[in-house]
A and B are shown apart, each in its own frame.
Chain A
Amino acid sequence: MTNVKRILSVTFLSVMIVAIFGSGIATAADEIRIGFTPPITGVHAAGGSLQVKSINLALKEINAAGGVNGKKIDLRIIDNQSTNPGALAALQKAVEQEKVLAMVGCLYSTQVMATADATKNYGIPTIIGATNVNITKQGNPWLFRVRPDDSVAAGAMVKYIKEDTKLTKIGLIHDADAFGTGGADLVEKYAKEAGLTVVRREKCTTAAKDFTAELLAMKNAGAQILVFYGHEEATALLQRQMRQIGSPFKFLGSPSAASKDSLNLAKEAAEGIWAVVDFVPGQSKENKSYADAYKKEYNAEFDSLSVWTYDGLKILVNAIKKAGEDRAKIREAILATQGYQGAQGTFSFTPNGDGLSEVSIVQIEKGQQKLLKIVNVGSK
């Protein structure tokens, strides 16, 4: 027993030593270092591994094509541990120890906000996938968003309700998290501007199971269409339970409503619902070639929520090609990117750093997304 204890203690000590001194770094002059901070451990780890797959696809294509101005791209992947402090530590490690030139950052809004200050202080161009509207509106010139932000989706939803469905009474249910609340705030705001009324608004938690109370509240308030801003599981539950009280209104969901997971869960209850999506798989030639390359490399269908890392790295590398290894010039080059055809759509950066301002409205038919219309509302 004493031996076991001694071995344990020695192990602990050596683990500490490895942790502190094991992160030595060597720099090579013929490479350009770019940092990427996905969640490798923690609650978002599953999504993180998909982001890594997607970005590695871009990396492989870039380096196979000869890299940038004769230099290969060296991508340093650092775990953000799915937490805010972890995201900050990952960024600091990338910049100070790995000496990266530019960053591909985080997908989750809170992690982007937790690192926003440091990004600004370092003055390092950072590609992000978070969709919270405020992120690019806080005077931080170093963040570049390569997904449509929530105002685009919300604007498109309201526009579609007003112009295409001609319904006027909206019931709004949303997840209480940053994504759901932010989206619902915008829907309510744009609806008011468009002369539509939100007859009732309810919040729920991500883990909510029973929506009877919320649905009855919508029904009794006279809603004609239910807009839901939230995640897959709740979307599917809501669709099922809506059907069980006799579908008293139409349903228009946030992108999660058309995701594979949600459709698998909701099954027949999803038939005929509308949803807004970033893009419809296979809608463009760039998207098709991404899908093919992904299939060839990993023998699997790609994941819609990870494509941004692929587009993001390519946009970043294109900017470095034009601007050279100077962070301020890279920033300008990214902002100058207009009409770039990516796997997610056509990128044209606004001065705030928003790259994508188009989304699609789809209807679910036989468990598949059917494109109804591509809406470009411009970033507000």
Chain B
Amino acid sequence: MNTRIKSLLVPAVLVVVVLLLPRFITSSYWLNLINLAISFSIACLGLNIVLGYTGQLSLAQAAFWGVGAYTSAILTTQLGLPVWAGIFAAFFVAALCGVLLGIPTLKLSGHYLAMATIGFGIIVQLILVNEIWLTNGSDGITKIPSPWIGSFELKDPATFFYVAAVSLILLTWGAIHLKNSRVGRAFMAIRENEMAAGTTGVDTTYYKIMAFALSAGYAGVGGWLFAHGGSHYISPDTFSFDQSVILLVMTVLGGNGSAIGSIVGGTLLTLLPEVLRFLKDSYMMVYAAGIVLIMIFMPRGIAGLVSNMPISLRLRTWWNADSVATLQVAATASSRENSGGSQKAFTPRDCSGSGEVLLTVKGLAKHFGGLKAVDGVDMAVRRGEIQALIGPNGSGKTTILNMLSGLYVPTAGEISLGGAAIAGKKPHIITSLGMARTFQNIRLFGELTVLENVLIGRHCHSRAGLFTSILRLPSQKAEEAAIRAKALEMLEFVGLNGKEFAQANSLPYGQQRLLELARALASDPQLLLLDEPAAGLNAAETEALVGLLFQICTRGVTILLVEHDMNLVMNVSDHITVLNFGKKIAEGSAEEIEKNQEVIDAYLGTEVGNA
């Protein structure tokens, strides 16, 4: 079946189901429950964005759901705002609350966030109860209007179902599009490894707040459906911490990270009261035990179970057949192009040993309490060279790399990259100015595919924002294609072609190093920082690495290398800087360093002697 028909298949099925459902289910009891399930599912979709995609735990989803419901209810009942406008008000006010809560807490680790969201939920409920002038207090808001189309009121559950179903489909569509976009990949990069996300060019704070706001906005729309459908009545007791927990159970039961899973979870737990009646007052207890068991035994929920069943594997293969084929063709095409001598893998730069200084470091220092890990280091890296930074363990090499790449704020000193002062700047800004790095202990986005890892490397050279990503505008599609082509070239360059769809952490160790390198190169760096790239590689792999380093260098990328393998260092380095106890003790060419008595004393003595 060709792609065009396939792409129409899902919408066609959905339209038929939505149109026909109220014909088969006529009881307003069931229709209302379905509408309620949709409202919950939308809140779960939101939670899935922040928890499933971005890996941040929010325990205030019911509060955002309530903010949406109250915003629209207040505006429509008291100010006469049209009900349809309420949907946007609900989205934006809830999203704004998400931003306000996110700003102070998201800069810190996930624990603070989770607890702060509990606090936020408590505060929201207190406000709903106490600000009677605004919310009518515990009595709640009655007689919330239904939406109208012309002179037709969408009041009975069957007509309101259409509103709910369309909202759900659009928002699910948005969530799925988001996942496979620049923004979605940034979210997932944060989930997989926040530090690596930063050095790969993702503004982690910005994207966390965006995920949080979006998640709250989704909950707001869910709240809108809840307020204007069903009982047309809302009161504070509905939007409790327990409800947040139930939304959490729905999301993780359905399958954390899967949009469809959120809907399955939300629907299942809403429609099952009959079956769950035996639980009586142990309701919450069984839910709670469910959370723990799901976490331990099926971390990917129902979606994970279903997607691992043979039938769905077959289905997926059939579904993806075309797109995989297209990609393979593209990959082979790009590789043919490359082997044909074209050097498109990197933007060529003039680097004919001009001697121009790319990176200047002056008086750089980092103190941890009383410990002076780095204490007043000056160094310079010339464009087009491979420079090595060596020294005994604990001499401050990695600390310097961490300051260069923005993970540490220097205690003192200046760093300038191509004339721009970067000391103390955030990692993603430094990456966008042309510096990329790898880590000593590999930091890949392990659960993502090899290709996605490299795509994220292009983050700072692409610009698709939230709405372009969700709507898949033509500009976004063009950009995606360009990113993809570039990523495939990178994989080809490091020799990982054919592995595009493997999960990153399923690769053998040596290939993981190569993948990290490809991800770093994808950002088109002027300066590449490598933290012990040869650690754990065997002799053959190390040799291949040496070749790769020279190739990278000849293509115009300057390299600053921290490495313990002295053969490699002496082999590739144009220039070597030696550190000991946080201070520079020597620098020069390989020959000079080998002869330097101070270096031999401090560090090389035994090793060179043995060699």
| Interface of A toward B, CB cutoff 8 Å | 5-6, 8-9, 12, 15-16, 18-20, 22-23, 40-43, 45-46, 49, 79, 81, 83-86, 88-89, 92-93, 96-97, 109-110, 113-118, 132, 134, 138, 176-179, 181-182, 203, 205
Partner of B273, one of A45, A79, A134, A176: A79
Q: Could you say which of A20, A114, A138, A203 has the most chain B C-beta atoms within 10 Å of its C-beta? A: A114
B349 within 8 A of A: no
Partner of B280, one of A45, A134, A179: A45
Partner of B139, one of A16, A84, A134: A134
Q: Contact at B29–A96, with CB atoms within 8 Å?
A: yes
For B242, what are the chain A residues with a Cβ–Cβ distance below 8 Å?
43
Q: With A16-B268, A96-B28, A109-B139 as given contacts, are A114 and B275 in contact (CB-CB < 8 Å)?
A: no
Q: Contact at A84–B238, with CB atoms within 8 Å?
A: yes
A47 CB to closest chain B CB, in angstroms? Answer: 10
| Interface of B toward A, CB cutoff 8 Å | 27-29, 32-33, 36, 126, 129-130, 132, 137-140, 142-143, 226, 230-235, 237-238, 242, 268, 271-277, 279-281, 283-284, 302, 305-306, 308-309
Q: Contact at A97–B27, with CB atoms within 8 Å?
A: yes
Q: Contact at A40–B302, with CB atoms within 8 Å?
A: no
Q: How far is the CA of A259 from the CA of B27 in the complex (A)?
A: 42
A-B contact pairs, 15 of them (CB 8 A): A18-B274, A19-B272, A41-B273, A41-B279, A84-B234, A92-B32, A93-B29, A110-B237, A113-B235, A114-B140, A114-B231, A117-B233, A134-B139, A176-B138, A181-B138
Q: How far is the CA of A179 from the CA of B138 in the complex (A)?
A: 8
For B142, what are the chain A residues with a Cβ–Cβ distance below 8 Å?
113, 116-117, 138
Q: Contact at B283–A45, with CB atoms within 8 Å?
A: yes
For B281, what are the chain A residues with a Cβ–Cβ distance below 8 Å?
41-42, 45-46
Number of residue pairs across A and B with beta carbons under 8 Å?
129
Q: How far is the CA of A75 from the CA of B305 in the complex (A)?
A: 42
For A22, what are the chain B residues with a Cβ–Cβ distance below 8 Å?
274
Q: How far is the CA of A115 from the CA of B308 in the complex (A)?
A: 43
Q: Contact at B233–A18, with CB atoms within 8 Å?
A: no
A245 CB to closest chain B CB, in angstroms? Answer: 26
Residue of A with least CB distance to B125: A205
Q: Contact at B280–A110, with CB atoms within 8 Å?
A: no
Partner of A9, one of B233, B275, B309: B309
Q: How far is the CA of A83 from the CA of B275 in the complex (A)?
A: 17
For B32, what are the chain A residues with a Cβ–Cβ distance below 8 Å?
88-89, 92
B202 CB to closest chain A CB, in angstroms? Answer: 35
Partner of B275, one of A18, A46, A93, A132: A18
Partner of B140, one of A23, A43, A81, A113: A113
Residue of B with least CB distance to A109: B139
Q: With A89-B36, A134-B139, A176-B129 as given contacts, are A116 and B305 in contact (CB-CB < 8 Å)?
A: no
Q: Contact at A79–B132, with CB atoms within 8 Å?
A: no
The 6 closest A-B pairs by CB, nearest first: A45-B281, A178-B138, A92-B29, A110-B235, A114-B231, A88-B231
Q: Contact at B274–A85, with CB atoms within 8 Å?
A: no
Q: How far is the CA of A134 from the CA of B138 in the complex (A)?
A: 12
For A109, what are the chain B residues with a Cβ–Cβ distance below 8 Å?
139
Q: Contact at B29–A9, with CB atoms within 8 Å?
A: no
For A177, what are the chain B residues with a Cβ–Cβ distance below 8 Å?
129, 138, 237
Q: Contact at B129–A92, with CB atoms within 8 Å?
A: no
Known: A118-B231, A178-B139, A181-B139. 11 other contacts (CB 8 A): A9-B306, A22-B274, A42-B281, A84-B231, A85-B238, A88-B32, A110-B238, A113-B140, A115-B231, A177-B129, A177-B138
Q: How far is the CA of A346 from the CA of B131 in the complex (A)?
A: 38
Residue of A with least CB distance to B283: A41
B1 CB to closest chain A CB, in angstroms? Answer: 27
Q: Contact at B27–A40, with CB atoms within 8 Å?
A: no
For B130, what are the chain A residues with a Cβ–Cβ distance below 8 Å?
176, 203
Partner of A12, one of B28, B33, B268: B268
For B268, what are the chain A residues with a Cβ–Cβ distance below 8 Å?
12, 16
Partner of B308, one of A5, A97, A178: A5
Residue of B with least CB distance to A81: B273
Q: Contact at A114–B28, with CB atoms within 8 Å?
A: no
Q: Contact at B28–A92, with CB atoms within 8 Å?
A: yes
Q: Contact at B27–A41, with CB atoms within 8 Å?
A: no
For A45, what are the chain B residues with a Cβ–Cβ distance below 8 Å?
280-281, 283
Q: How far is the CA of A113 from the CA of B274 in the complex (A)?
A: 23
Residue of A with least CB distance to B226: A85
Q: With A84-B231, A109-B139 as given contacts, are A40 and B272 in contact (CB-CB < 8 Å)?
A: no
For A93, what are the chain B residues with a Cβ–Cβ distance below 8 Å?
29
Q: How far is the CA of A261 from the CA of B546 in the complex (A)?
A: 79
Residue of A with least CB distance to B272: A19
A24 CB to closest chain B CB, in angstroms? Answer: 12
Q: Contact at B36–A12, with CB atoms within 8 Å?
A: no
Residue of A with least CB distance to B141: A113
A38 CB to closest chain B CB, in angstroms? Answer: 11
Q: Contact at B277–A116, with CB atoms within 8 Å?
A: no
For B309, what are the chain A residues with a Cβ–Cβ distance below 8 Å?
5-6, 9
B374 CB to closest chain A CB, in angstroms? Answer: 50
For B237, what are the chain A residues with a Cβ–Cβ distance below 8 Å?
84, 110, 177
Q: With A9-B305, A88-B32, A181-B132 as given contacts, are A41 and B233 in contact (CB-CB < 8 Å)?
A: no
For B139, what are the chain A residues with a Cβ–Cβ distance below 8 Å?
109-110, 113, 132, 134, 178, 181-182
For B308, what are the chain A residues with a Cβ–Cβ distance below 8 Å?
5
Q: How far is the CA of A46 from the CA of B143 in the complex (A)?
A: 31
B138 CB to closest chain A CB, in angstroms? Answer: 4
Q: Contact at A113–B273, with CB atoms within 8 Å?
A: no
Residue of A with least CB distance to B130: A176
Q: Contact at A85–B137, with CB atoms within 8 Å?
A: no
